[in-house]
Amino acid sequence: MTDHAPLEWLALARGTLDRVALRRRDDAWVKAAWAAPGTRVLVVEGGRAPVVYEPSPTLAFVAPDEAPPGDRWLLGVDPSGTAYFGAAGPLPEVEGAAPAGLREVGALLEDRDSGLLTHVVALEHWHATHRFCPRCGAPTEVRSAGHVRVCTVDGSEHFPRVDPAVIMLVRDEADRILLARGPSWPADRRSVLAGFVEPGESLEQAVAREVIEEVGLAVRDVRYLGSQPWPLPRSLMLGFTARADGRAPLRPDPEEILDAAWFTREELRAAIDAGEVVAPGPLSIAAQLIMRWYGGPLPKMPLF
Ligand SMILES: [Zn+2]
């Protein structure tokens, strides 16, 4: 593996459907798709959807006439032509199914279903929090099969909001990585540094700013490795690697970081084995960044 090889597997970036974005404004097409006999509806409520666990975790869909009333969001079409829609709850009773969210099943679902749940959870939160126009305060209405809201007074269009956040694996010249603990985290939690991109800032500038703010280190050789949506509630996580001088003093910002330290692979393995550090689950891009450096799954890694 080269130093800048992309991340290979990201739990929430595995969607397989054609999003048919060009069809969203075609009301006749959307109406026909909703009425087609094979159409499936994924109902979501509070970030959770019905999931069947046997024989393997799978989303439980309902037919359009079983969906709750309200807006429908066109999620996509599979290779057989079956259309998938999302709708806000209440969740339907589906035999053998139980409600689950991305944290529980985002890494366990197959690619298609992981992508569908990620998409529908993001849309649910956006619709729930953007009912009014940010310009004039009037109510907004759903358009474009759930992917635009339009102000009922001034006609302004509003698109689903996504907040970019950078997350970076900082390495030193001895190939150690920097892991830190946030103030509200459990005592055994460590992760790589991360932060939101600010207005007027490039991704690379955000990486450098966050590292110097959080631990006082200057970084160089900032490289992009991959991204995944993180609609909890509306982030897009952009993964990077960067280099820093491991001999420079660490100066953690007490408001953001309780402690920060460099780890070799052997030190990280020993800390996990001793219960001093809990390995992250595979859902997060942080786990994938650490695994990419570590060379495979971490010891005692949870399933999700
Ligand atoms: Zn308005």
> Percentage of the chain with pLDDT > 70?
99
Handedness of CA 255, 223, 296, 116 (dihedral sign): positive
Q: Do the bridges between strand 40-44 and strand 83-88 make them parallel or antiparallel, or are there none, so unpaired?
A: parallel
Q: Which fold has domain 1-129?
A: Nucleoside Triphosphate Pyrophosphohydrolase (3.90.79)
For residue 158, the CA-to-ligand 1 centroid distance in Å is 10
Arithmetic mean of pLDDT over the chain: 96
For residue 289, the CA-to-ligand 1 centroid distance in Å is 42
For residue 297, the CA-to-ligand 1 centroid distance in Å is 50
For residue 23, the CA-to-ligand 1 centroid distance in Å is 26
For residue 54, the CA-to-ligand 1 centroid distance in Å is 47
Domain boundaries, the chain: 1-129, 130-160, 163-294
d(CA 270, CA 299): 9
For residue 199, the CA-to-ligand 1 centroid distance in Å is 23
Determine which of 4-13, 163-172, 241-250, 265-274 has the lowest per-residue pLDDT on average: 4-13
For residue 139, the CA-to-ligand 1 centroid distance in Å is 7
Question: Who's near 135: CB < 8 A, 6+ residues apart?
Answer: 151, 154, 156
Residue 89 scores a pLDDT above 60? yes
For residue 141, the CA-to-ligand 1 centroid distance in Å is 11
Which pLDDT belongs to residue 3?
66
Query: Is the CB of residue 83 less than 8 Å from the CB of residue 41?
Result: no
Question: What residue type is assigned to position 164 of the chain?
Answer: P
For residue 149, the CA-to-ligand 1 centroid distance in Å is 10
For residue 34, the CA-to-ligand 1 centroid distance in Å is 29
For residue 147, the CA-to-ligand 1 centroid distance in Å is 17
For residue 148, the CA-to-ligand 1 centroid distance in Å is 14
Residue 4 scores a pLDDT above 80? no
Q: Which CATH superfamily groups domain 163-294? A: Nucleoside Triphosphate Pyrophosphohydrolase (3.90.79.10)
pTM higher than the cut 0.85: yes
Which pLDDT belongs to residue 8?
87
Which pLDDT belongs to residue 70?
95
For residue 192, the CA-to-ligand 1 centroid distance in Å is 41
For residue 153, the CA-to-ligand 1 centroid distance in Å is 5
Q: Do domains 1-129 and 163-294 have the same CATH topology?
A: yes
Q: What is the pLDDT of residues 44-64, one digit of tens each?
A: 999 999 999 999 999 999 999
